[in-house]
A and B are shown apart, each in its own frame.
Chain A
Amino acid sequence: MIEVKGLVKTYGNKRAVDGVSFTVNKGDILGFLGPNGAGKSTTMKMITGYLRPDAGTVTVAGIDVTQEPVAVKSRIGYLPESAPAYGEMTVYEFLDFIAEVRGYRQAAERRARVDRAVARTHLEPVRRQAIETLSKGYKQRVGFAQALLHEPPCLVLDEPTDGLDPNQKNEVRALIKTMAADRAVILSTHILEEVDAICTRIILISQGKVVVDETPAVFRARKTGARLDEIFRDLTRSEV
């Protein structure tokens, strides 16, 4: 579904992403791991068409993102890091705006879409509230609702559980799992249990390069008896 080939992005003289390649198929939940600054967010921004890659290609359902950005963007649901939203709008107004840009022109259809997304992310209690007055957990859910609204075949989630309390984290993980069945999902995180809990595949990225691309079981077997964060440390430290 998502195919990434030889992606490169340079900021100044620093290579943030250096030849990253991988594919994500339908049904996959790909856990994108790596230390802060490893290039996870930059890679995701290139997949979603926000940043233009210096080299390499991204195709989503066979469509190249640099050639037909609008077609690709309509197939992706994206939750940017820290879930930005227009704070002065209410949850309902914001989701209605997203639905309209997503091409739902009939008011009734938009309402149905928004209602469904609101129900799925449990936003009913705050739907008439301005987003800037919401707690971090609710804000994150608004970001989720916005990403799922059009039932996209691909979901790209940048640190979806960051800043949530343990209950909310579990809830978000359950939500991701239920959605993943017929979709391709990429999520970035630096919480290792999360990967273990929901991901079907792990990609570890360090200093802009893919270091590991395997299933959580194989990843765990790298060092028997060790905790995931020890393996993580070994793999990312050796690069330094």
Chain B
Amino acid sequence: MSQLTPVFKREFLGYFRSPVAYVFLIVFLVASVGLAFFVGGLFKANQASLQSFFVFHPWLYLFLIPAVGMRLWAEERRGGTIELLFTLPLTTLDAVVGKFLAAWAFLALGLALTFPLALTIGWLGNPDWGTVFSGYLGSALMAGAYLAICSLLSALTKNQVIAFVLGVVTCLVFVFLGWSVFNGLLSSFLPVAAVDFIANLGFIPHFEAFTKGIIDPRDLAYFGSLIALALTVNVVVLER
């Protein structure tokens, strides 16, 4: 793992060498805060909580994270730099984890920049800071799961558009599996146990617990193992 640091550094700083980073950060901030205010009614709810901010994250990530993840490997393939990277003395695992962590850190930066929203709530009312932090933690973990999936899909193609579309569709499946509306539909013809099982595979039930201030080891394990699994397959795909 000694070679992970230079890969991480290059990838992370790479975002800021092009306008991509600034476009992404601005869109992320405007969309996340805008949805919370205008659709979620952050102020109208008259509650000192970020519930109406976090509730949109699974949907927001559905488009924004494939946009970040699509280039991870597709761009290396297209530009031929993948040949350079894999003839340097590093393992595939170093490269996969280094690039993943860099992109994740970038997403975490975007998320951290929404913190003034939490401070505003804190100024206006008296939020439960534990819940605010667990919400941020859950959102960051969920972003990691989206990203790991998109990184894997990006390794399958040298076309970024294909990587993006595959990323959106696959993440959509994971969102739907745990979406209450979809689960309601399923429960009309499936037994409760089966619906529970399916819902448990999706992102939302695990994320919701965090936004309510519950840090359950099972939810941590869910996101952790999803990331580990996707990255393992990512390594296998690249070594094929």
Tell me the A residues contacting B by CB distance below 8 Å: 45, 48-50, 69-71, 73-74, 76, 78, 80, 82, 84-89, 97-98, 100-103, 130, 146
Given contacts A70-B91, A80-B80, A82-B80, contact A89 B86 (CB under 8 A): no
B84: chain A residues at CB < 8 Å are: 78, 80, 84-85, 146
A89, B79: Cα distance in complex, Å: 13
A49, B10: Cα distance in complex, Å: 22
Tell me if B89 and A102 are in contact (CB < 8 A).
yes
Tell me if B18 and A49 are in contact (CB < 8 A).
no
A86: chain B residues at CB < 8 Å are: 10, 14, 79, 81
- Tell me the count of chain B residues lying within 8 A, CB to CB, of chain A: 20
Tell me if B89 and A80 are in contact (CB < 8 A).
no
For residue B46, CB closer than 8 A to chain A, the reply is no
A98, B79: Cα distance in complex, Å: 17
Q: Which of B17, B80, B90 contacts A70 (CB under 8 A)?
A: B90
Q: How far is the CB of A3 from chain B (nearest CB, A)?
A: 18
A130, B79: Cα distance in complex, Å: 15
Number of A-B residue pairs with CB-CB distance less than 8 Å in the complex they form = 61
Give residues of chain B (16-52) contacting chain A, Cβ–Cβ below 8 Å: 17-18
Tell me if A85 and B83 are in contact (CB < 8 A).
no
A89: chain B residues at CB < 8 Å are: 10, 14, 17
A102: chain B residues at CB < 8 Å are: 88-89
Given contacts A84-B81, A86-B14, A89-B17, contact A100 B87 (CB under 8 A): no
Tell me if B79 and A84 are in contact (CB < 8 A).
yes
Tell me if A49 and B14 are in contact (CB < 8 A).
no
For residue B225, CB closer than 8 A to chain A, the reply is no
A135, B165: Cα distance in complex, Å: 34
**Which of B3, B87, B90 has the largest count of A CB atoms less than 10 A from its CB?**
B87
Tell me the B residues contacting A by CB distance below 8 Å: 3, 5-7, 9-10, 14, 17-18, 79-81, 83-84, 86-91
A237, B9: Cα distance in complex, Å: 50
Q: Which of B3, B7, B14, B81 contacts A85 (CB under 8 A)?
A: B81
B88: chain A residues at CB < 8 Å are: 73, 98, 101-102
A76: chain B residues at CB < 8 Å are: 87
Tell me if B14 and A74 are in contact (CB < 8 A).
no
Q: How far is the CB of B191 from chain A (nearest CB, A)?
A: 48
Q: Which of A84, A98, A101 contacts B83 (CB under 8 A)?
A: A84
18 A-B pairs (CB sep. < 8 Å): A48-B87, A49-B87, A70-B90, A73-B87, A73-B88, A73-B89, A74-B89, A82-B80, A84-B80, A84-B84, A88-B17, A88-B18, A89-B14, A97-B10, A100-B6, A101-B3, A101-B6, A146-B84
A87: chain B residues at CB < 8 Å are: 79
A48, B87: Cα distance in complex, Å: 6
A80: chain B residues at CB < 8 Å are: 80, 83-84, 87
Q: Which of B6, B9, B86 contacts A49 (CB under 8 A)?
A: B86
Q: 14 extra interchain contacts, Cβ-Cβ under 8 A, other than A50-B83, A73-B89, A74-B89?
A: A49-B87, A70-B89, A73-B90, A78-B84, A78-B87, A80-B80, A80-B83, A85-B81, A86-B14, A88-B14, A100-B5, A101-B3, A101-B88, A130-B17
